[in-house]
Structure 1
Amino acid sequence: MFKQVTVSGATQGVLKRHWKRSIGTGRLGLALQQEYQEHLEMVQEAIGFDYIRGHGLLHDDVGIYRELTQDGETRVFYNFTYIDRIFDAYLAKGLKPYVELGFMPEALASGDQTVFYWKGNVTPPKDYDRWAALIEAVIRHFIERYGLKEVLTWPFEVWNEPNLVNFWKDADQAEYFKLYQVTAEAVKRVHPELQVGGPAICGGSDHWITDFLEFCHARNVPVDFVSRHAYTARQPHRKTPEYYYQELANPEKMLHELQEVREMIRQSPFPDLPFHITEYNTSYSPINPVHDTALNAAYLARILSESGDYADVMSYWTFSDVFEESDVPKAQFHGGFGLIALNGIPKPTFHLFAFFQALGEEVLYRDDSLLVTRREDGTLALLSWNAVLEEGEEGDEQHIQAKLPFSTEEVFVKRQIVNEAYANPWKTWQQMGRPRFPSKGQIQTLRQAAVPKLTTQAARTADGVLELNWKMGKNEITLLEVAPVRNESHTYWGLDDSLIYRGGTEEEDQ
C-alpha cells in the first residue's frame, strides 16, 4: 500500500493530552511491592501520567476499615497506615490519585460474594450509615494529610462496573443508585467542591448512563463527571486454563462507542459533564496474549489519536504486569494488561505512549494512520502506525511519502521503530522457548530486545519543503523527529573524513 501526504504549515488544532490524564493499576495494595514501584518510576520517567486509578481502596489488604470488639462493645477503627504509604509514593512520582471508592470491607459487607483471586467483596453495605461515615472519614483524612487544595483536584468514582453481576451483587441498578447517592452526598458533606461521579460501567449497558443521569437529576444527587470503560475484544473464541484468545473489533468500534456516549451526555440534563474513560484496552482479560504484542500498540495508536474528540480522560488499563486478578502471574509473558512486563521489560505499547509523549503541541495533519505535529521550538514530530489484524491481510506493508513544511535547508531526521522485528521482547521470549521464570541472563536479553530500532539521516529541503519516504512493516509504530541542522563542520581545521579510509601523507597535511 502506498500513501502520499502533503502537509501545509497551517495549524489544524492543539494536540490533546487526554491519553496521559490517567493510568490504571491493579489493586492498590500491590503498590507496597518493590517491583511495582520500580515499574511506576519507569512509566513516569518516559511518559508522565497525571493520575492513577485502581481497585481495592477499601479492600481489607489496605486495612482502612476495622471493627474492634472489647467487653461486648464493637467500635469502628480507621487505619490509614498503608494508604498513606501508597498515596505518598504516588504523589512523589507526580501522580495524583483517581480514587475509586470500593470494594466493600468484609466487616461492613452484607454478603460474601467476591471477585478476583484476591476476593474483593462486591455486595452492598449492611449498614449505609456506617458506609457513609467511612467515606467521610477517608476523605477527611486525605484533606488533613495532603491539604484541601490538593484533594479538590482528585476525582472520586463510586464503585466499578456495577452493571456486571461479577462486580455488583445481581447487577442491581436500583441498589447501585442508592449506593451512589449515599456516597456522593457523603463526599459533598466533607466539601461541596469535591468531584464525585460514576457509574463506571463497562460497554454494552450504556442505558445505565441515561438512567443514572436521569436519577441524579430527579433526586438532585450530585454528579461531576460520567465514567465508563471501553474494550474491543469480543467474547472468547477459545479459553484455556492459562489464556483467553479473542477476536478484536476494528478500532472504529471503540471510537464509535465513545461518540455515542458523548452524545448521550449532551442529550441529558447535564450536557456539559466531563466524560472519563477510566479503563480501556484491546482485551478485558488479564490473560490475553495480545497485550504482549506489537499488534496491541499499532491497534491502539488510532484510539489514542482520535479518542480525545469525545473523551476528556482516557485511562489505559494498566501500567504494569504486577497484577493479580486471575492469580499471581504464572509466566514472564502471560497476557497481562501492563505496559511493562515482569522484570522491568517494556512492551511495544509502552513505546506507543512514549512516542505520543514526544509529539508536539500543534497538530498539522491527522488521518487514520498518521499524526504530524510541530513543537514549540519548530521541530516536527510524526507518528505513523500500521495495524494488521489478520495474517496475510492485504497491506501488511505500507509505503508513505510525506511532504512537510520546514524552513531550514539542512535537516536531521531521527526515526524510532517498533514492530514485529524490533522492540518485541515477546517474540524473543518465544525464541527462548517461553521460559516461565527466566534467568538473570535471559532477563537481560529480553530488556535488550525491548529497545526500539533507531535510524538517523541527514536530508535537505527544497523551497521550504522536506520530502520524507518510509516503509512501515506489519504492526509497526514509527516516530519520526525532524530538526534543523546547525552545521559546524567548517570550524574544524583540516577536517577530511576520506582520510579515515585512505590515510594521508605529511605533504598533504602541509
Structure 2
Amino acid sequence: MRYTNEIIDTIGEIPVKLYIESIKTSSYYLKPKLILIFVIKGEILIKQEDKSYTLREEDVILINPNIMYSIDSSSTNQIYILEIDYQYFNNLYNNFSDLMFELNSLNIDESNIEDYKSIKSIIIKLLEVCINKENGYLLMAKQLIMEIIVRLINKFTVDKTENTFSINHDDERINSIIKFVLTHYKEKISLQDISQYMHLNSQYISRYFSKQMGIPLNAFISNVRLEESIKDLVLSDKKITFIALENGFPNLKSYFKVFKEVYGMTPSKYKNIYLNEIKENSLELDFSKFKLEKIPNHENDKLRLLPEKKQSYVIDLNSSVSTFNKSWKRILAFGRAAEGMREELRNQLRLVQKDISFEYVRFHGIFSDEMRVYSEDDEGNSEYNFTYVDELIDFLLEIKLKPFIELGYMPDQLASEKKYIFAWKANISFPKSINKWNKLIKSFVKHLIEKYGSNEVQTWYFQICDQWSYFNTEYRKYFDFFRETYSSVKQVEAKLRIGGTFDLQLLDKYISFLKDEKIVLDFIAIRTYSLVPMGKSDSLELINRFGKVSDNQLILQNSIDYCLHAHESFISEQIDKFINKIDKDKLNIKEIFITEWNTTPSQKDLLHDTCFKASFFVKNIIANFNKVYGMAYWSFSDIFEETKASNNIFHGGLGFITNNGIKKPIYYTYQLMNRLGNNIIKKEDDFIATKNINNSIQILAFNYCHFIDDKKQCHSKDITLKNRYHVFDEKNKNISFVLKGLSGEVVMKIYRINKENGSAYDEWLRIGAPKFMELDELNYIKNRSIFEYKMKNIDINGDFIINEKMEPHEVMLIEIIPIKHS
C-alpha cells in the first residue's frame, strides 16, 4: 500500500511534480522523467537495474529517465519525490535530454561531499517552500528548480559510455519485457504474446524473468495491473468491477484474489484505510531537523533564463482599414433541443446574451422523441405536436437569439431501424417512409410560418442533418434523402435559408450531387476539430471501426481515443482546403458557417477547462474570422449529454461554462473580443489591432503554446485532473508594439487572462481541488477567477511604445482611449 500527498504539480511554466509518499509494498516504475528521491523518515529499498540500495533518513538518489526501478519497504517510511520533465530544459541547455546524471548519497566521497550537501540543501529548501506556500513562493520555487538543474549539469553529469547503469544485453531484454507489459497491461497478455514480441521461447522468458527480477512474470503483470488500479480505486467513484476490467484483469474474482494476496484485504477496505490515513497524515514537517548547508553561489554555474518568445510590431494608426467581420459572435451552439428546455441551461443562455450577445443559436435533435413532435396512431397515421418546439423558440426569441435549426434526428416511430448515436440515443436511420418524412418537414415549416410569420422565419437557418452520411456507405440513398428534405422546405417557402453540413472527405461526392440535381444551397456548414486519426485510418473509417459499442448504439466520441492532437494550424488548413475546393468547383454558395469547431468533440478532454483553450480560441478566430460568415465554438455549456457525464466540476466538458455556472477562460475571452473595434488596422499571427469610430484603439494579443510532443494522443493518461499543463511547450513571450500617429492624453486599459487571472480551473487547484464544493466555495471561485484589469492615464508625444510580457497561454487586450477635454 502507498499513501500519496501531492504538493505541487507544476511550478510556473516548468513541468515539475512534487509529492510525498509512504511505501508499504513493492512498486515498479519506468518514467520518462528525472526522478529525485529524498528519504524523510524510515527506510526504503531501491532496485535500479541490477543494483540495490538501502536508503535511510536524509539519503538522496537520482533516477535517470526511462530507467526501470522499484521501491520496496517493510517499515514505516515517508519519502519526498521530485519529478522533473527533462525535455523542457532542452530549450535552455543544448541536448539536455542526452545527459546522464549520477547522484546517490551512498556513493559520496570526500571529492564531491560539498557538491552533494549543496544540492541536498536546495532539494530540502524546495520542499519547505512548496509546503509553506508563503507570498511569492512560486518565484522562489522556480529559482530553486533552476539551481538544481545547474548543479546537476555542472557537478553530477557522467559519461554515458562509463555510467554505472550501462545496460548489457540481458538488461535490455528485461527492459523490453517490462516496457511491453507497461504498454499492454490493460490488454490480455500471455507468455506467447511476449515471446513473439521478444522472438524468444516462452518457457525461457518465464524462467529468465523470474531469475533476474525475483518475481514470476505472471505475478509481475498482475502487480502492474494492481498498481495502476490503485489510483482509480482511491481517487475516483468508479465501480470496482469497472476498475478491475479497465486495468486488464479478466474478471472481478481475479482482481480480488490478487488484491488480497498483496494487501491482505478487500479493495473497499483498502480505500477506507487510505482515506483515513490521508486525513491523519500531516505535511507540517520539521525542517530544522535536516542538516542544511549554506548553498554556495557558483558563479560558473550558468544557465540561460527561462525561454521566451520575442515579437515586435509597428502599428500605423493612420493606415488603411478594413471592416471587421465578427463571425465568432454571430452564432452560438449547444447540444440538443431538449437541453434548451432545462432551466439551468436557459439561465446560462440569458447570462451569455447579457455578457456577450450572439445573433443565432444552433442545436440539433428538434425531431428527437424528447421533443414529442412526431407520433403515429394505431392505424399508422402521422400525428404532430409542436408544443415543446414553440416553447423553446419562444424562449430563444425572448432573449434575442434566432434559431439555427438542424432538421433531425429521426423520430423512433418514423425510423426504419434502431440505429443510434450518443448516450441519449439519437436515431440516425433513414425514414421508413420518405413520404411521411416529407409531410413532417412541410408541416413543421408551415407551423413555424403560421406562428412566427414568414418574414421572421426567413431570417432563420435550417440545416439538413448529416449524421446519416457518416454511417451509411449508400451515398445515393443519403443524397436522395437530402434532395427530398431540401425540396420539402422550399416547396413551403422558397425564400427560407436551407443548407447542409459537408465533410471534407466526402466533398467531391456532395459537389457532384448538387450540380447534378441543380440544387443551390443558401449556406454550407463545416465542422472541424483539431485532431487526426492514429495510423493510416481516416476519420470515417475510425468512426465505423470504433464508434460502435453495441448492435444498436453508436457513440461518436469513442473514436477519439484513437486520435492524436493535430498540429497548431490544422483547423485553418482544413477551412482553407474546404473553401478552395468550393471555389475551384465554382459552387454557388452564399454563406459558409463553421457550425462546430474545437480541439476535440469530447466531453472528457481535460484540456477544455484550462487556459490553453483561451489562446487556442483567439488564435483560430484571428486566423479564420474573415473566411466564413459564422463560427460556432462547440459547445457553449458543459450541460451536454452525448456521453456519460462526470461528477467532477472540471471534468473536461466542452463548454465555456461549467454545469454549475462557473465561467472558464474562453468565456472571458469572448468578453474581451467584444471590446474590439469594427475596423481592422493590422493583423498578424499573434495579434489583431482594431479601431472604433471614436478613434479608440484595441490590440488583442495571445501567447499560444502547442504540445511538446507533436503526436500527443487524445485522452492521454498523463493528463490528469490536477496535472494538465505539463504537455505544452510553455514559453513566456515579450511582445512590443510601436504605435505611430497617436498623440495627446489617453487612458490605457490592459486586460489579461492567464493561469492567475480568469482561470477558474487554476483557482480550483489553488484551493485544494475539492471534488465537491459548497455554495460559498463556488462563489469564491466565481469572484476570484475574473480577468485582470489595470488602467492608467498617459500623455503621448511621438511614437508610443508598449512592452509587455505574456505568460504561456495568456490572452491580453490593450485598449487606448483618447481623452477629450471640453
TM-score (norm 1): 0.88
Residue 321 (structure 2) pairs with residue 12 (structure 1): yes
Residue 405 (structure 2) pairs with residue 83 (structure 1): no
Structure 2 distance, partners of 1:253, 1:392, is 18
For 1:103, the aligned partner's letter is Y
Higher RCO structure, 1 or 2 (CA under 8 Å, sep 6+): 1
Q: Give the match's secondary structure for 1:373.
A: strand
Deviation at 1:407, TM superposition (A): 4.1
For 2:485, the aligned partner's letter is T
Q: Give the match's secondary structure for 2:693.
A: coil
Deviation at 1:214, TM superposition (A): 1.5
2:790 to 455, 458, 483: 455
Trace 1:284-299 onto structure 2 (pairs within 5 A).
284-299=601-616
Structure 2 distance, partners of 1:174, 1:97, is 30
The residue number in structure 2 matching 1:305 is 622
Structure 2 distance, partners of 1:396, 1:142, is 53
Deviation at 1:207, TM superposition (A): 4.0
Report the RMSD for the aligned CA atoms in angstroms: 2.3
Structure 1 distance, partners of 2:745, 2:778, is 41
Structure 1 distance, partners of 2:468, 2:766, is 42
Structure 2 distance, partners of 1:346, 1:486, is 35
Residue 718 (structure 2) pairs with residue 409 (structure 1): no
The residue number in structure 1 matching 2:755 is 420
The residue number in structure 2 matching 1:35 is 344
Cα contact 1:245–1:289 (8 A) shared by 2: no
User: Can you list the C-alpha shifts for 1:240-299, whole angstroms capped at 9, x where unaligned?
Assistant: 99x969753233111111111101111225244422211111112121011111101101
The residue number in structure 1 matching 2:528 is 230
> In structure 2, do the counterparts of structure 1 residues 276 and 64 end up closer, same or farther at CA, with 3 Å as the change threshold?
same
Trace 1:255-266 onto structure 2 (pairs within 5 A).
255-266=572-583
Q: State, as a whole percentage, how many aligned pairs show the same letter.
A: 27
Structure 2 distance, partners of 1:228, 1:411, is 43
Q: Give the match's secondary structure for 2:625.
A: helix
Which range moves more in the overlay, 328-337 or 281-290? 328-337
2:506 to 208, 215, 220: 208
Structure 2 distance, partners of 1:247, 1:420, is 25
Deviation at 1:209, TM superposition (A): 2.0
Cα contact 1:159–1:200 (8 A) shared by 2: no
Cα contact 2:524–2:589 (8 A) shared by 1: no
2:410 to 84, 104, 107: 104
Which range moves more in the overlay, 59-68 or 206-215? 206-215
Cα contact 1:251–1:300 (8 A) shared by 2: no
The residue number in structure 2 matching 1:496 is none
Structure 1 distance, partners of 2:646, 2:366, is 22
1:378 to 680, 692, 695: 695
The residue number in structure 2 matching 1:502 is none
Q: Give the match's secondary structure for 2:528.
A: strand
Structure 2 distance, partners of 1:329, 1:87, is 29
Residue 446 (structure 2) pairs with residue 140 (structure 1): yes
Deviation at 1:173, TM superposition (A): 2.0
Residue 577 (structure 2) pairs with residue 279 (structure 1): no
Moved over 6 A (4+): 243-246, 392-395
Deviation at 1:222, TM superposition (A): 4.2
> In structure 2, do the counterparts of structure 1 residues 421 and 64 end up closer, same or farther at CA, with 3 Å as the change threshold?
same
Trace 1:82-481 onto structure 2 (pairs within 5 A).
82-165=388-471, 170-201=472-503, 206-235=504-533, 247-390=564-707, 391=726, 396-405=731-740, 407-463=742-798, 465-481=799-815
Structure 2 distance, partners of 1:277, 1:161, is 16
> In structure 2, do the counterparts of structure 1 residues 236 and 355 end up closer, same or farther at CA, with 3 Å as the change threshold?
farther
Residue 356 (structure 2) pairs with residue 50 (structure 1): no
The residue number in structure 1 matching 2:44 is none
Cα contact 2:568–2:706 (8 A) shared by 1: no
User: Can you list the C-alpha shifts for 1:1-49, whole angstroms capped at 9, x where unaligned?
Assistant: 2221111121331111111121110111011111101111121112211
User: Can you list the C-alpha shifts for 1:59-95, whole angstroms capped at 9, x where unaligned?
Assistant: 00011112122xxx33322111111111111111111
Structure 2 distance, partners of 1:43, 1:309, is 23
The residue number in structure 1 matching 2:209 is none
Deviation at 1:386, TM superposition (A): 0.3
How many residue pairs are counted as aligned between the two chains? 474
Q: Give the match's secondary structure for 2:593.
A: strand
The residue number in structure 2 matching 1:60 is 369
Structure 2 distance, partners of 1:440, 1:161, is 40
Structure 2 distance, partners of 1:236, 1:43, is 37
Deviation at 1:379, TM superposition (A): 0.6
Cα contact 1:162–1:172 (8 A) shared by 2: no
For structure 2, the residue ranges without an aligned partner over 5 or more in a row are 1-308, 536-545, 547-556, 708-725
Structure 1 distance, partners of 2:800, 2:329, is 31
For 2:355, the aligned partner's letter is A
For 1:17, the aligned partner's letter is K
Structure 1 distance, partners of 2:497, 2:589, is 15
Deviation at 1:428, TM superposition (A): 2.2
> In structure 2, do the counterparts of structure 1 residues 272 and 137 end up closer, same or farther at CA, with 3 Å as the change threshold?
closer
Deviation at 1:171, TM superposition (A): 4.8
Query: Based on CA coordinates, which of the two structures has the bigger radius of gyration?
Result: 2
Deviation at 1:127, TM superposition (A): 0.4
Deviation at 1:455, TM superposition (A): 1.4
Structure 1 distance, partners of 2:646, 2:411, is 25
For 2:531, the aligned partner's letter is A
Cα contact 1:226–1:274 (8 A) shared by 2: yes
Cα contact 1:359–1:374 (8 A) shared by 2: yes
Deviation at 1:353, TM superposition (A): 1.6
Deviation at 1:480, TM superposition (A): 1.2
For 2:519, the aligned partner's letter is V
Cα contact 1:422–1:450 (8 A) shared by 2: yes
For structure 1, the residue ranges without an aligned partner over 5 or more in a row are 489-510
Cα contact 1:418–1:453 (8 A) shared by 2: yes
Deviation at 1:97, TM superposition (A): 0.6
User: Can you list the C-alpha shifts for 1:397-448, whole angstroms capped at 9, x where unaligned?
Assistant: 1111212245442111111111122111112223444434421112112212
The residue number in structure 2 matching 1:504 is none
Cα contact 2:327–2:626 (8 A) shared by 1: no
For 1:117, the aligned partner's letter is A
Which range moves more in the overlay, 244-253 or 141-150? 244-253
Cα contact 1:410–1:460 (8 A) shared by 2: yes
Structure 1 distance, partners of 2:657, 2:817, is 30
Structure 2 distance, partners of 1:469, 1:245, is 43
Structure 2 distance, partners of 1:96, 1:7, is 38
Structure 2 distance, partners of 1:199, 1:395, is 36
